[in-house]
Amino acid sequence: EFMKEASGFSVLEQSVKDKLHVDHVIVVPGNSDEVDWVKQEMGKAAIGFLRSILKNNQTIAVTGGTSMAAVAAMMTPLENAKNCMFVPARGGLGERVENQANTICAEMANKANGEYRLLHVPDPLSEESYQSIIGEPSVKEILQLIRQADVVIHGIGDAMTMAERRKASEEVLQRIEAGNAVSEAFGYYFNKTGEVIHKVRTVGLQLEDLFSSQCVVAVAGGTSKAKAIMSYFQQGKSNVLVTDEGAAKELIRE
């Protein structure tokens, strides 16, 4: 029974891989829209993957959200990756404290026996504050770490869900709607073909930085997120996807 299931999932993983043109896909059983612990299973799978690739002295940039919080919850000491440094990929992005990148990053580092640095900046920022904050030496130092991260691990959300969760202004909501934004990641909103419709002005990782990181892992599941996952991967910025059966089956159905 177990073998049958395992081979069934490897076919599903291969189909998602072909559909999204990514290097590696992990699918866990279930649908996180319906069953809460499926998210924890994605977290466990993401940690398993991280354990297989991380090396000593590497830097890992993480984002916020509930999927990433599940990854942090599953973190264990990393015996093969000593002295790892965890950094938040970008600012708080309007999340609740427990789902903010800073919180998740500190929890991951503590459980992995690694180090962390945090970003203390409000967001969104005005152009003026943005310019002065990125000039601060302490911010500059951490920004350098973030932009040179060896591994990036992040969530993907549905555009409208995220704009509402962040209590975006009426103007931003309108822009997102008018631009037919479908997905959100790192504070960027993307349309169906993966073009950027709107970007939250905050410090940290910029989309271009993803191209220089060899390993960018997305963690996102649930049938309701299939469209968002599809949209985000149109421009191929991440090369690994950890997802669930709910999202995977919907992804290959389209």
Contact residues: ligand F6P, CB under 6 A: 63-68, 93, 95, 154-157, 162, 184-186
Distance in Å, CB of 70 to ligand F6P, minimum: 8
Contact, 60 vs 150, CB < 8 A? yes
* Cis preceding-peptide flag for 124 (omega within 30 of 0): yes
Residue closer to ligand F6P by CB (options 22, 181) is: 181
Residue closer to ligand F6P by CB (options 93, 181) is: 93
Residue closer to ligand F6P by CB (options 38, 68) is: 68
Pairing of strands 157-158, 183-185: antiparallel
Residue closer to ligand F6P by CB (options 3, 209) is: 209
Nearest of 121, 146, 116, 125 to residue 209 by alpha carbon: 146
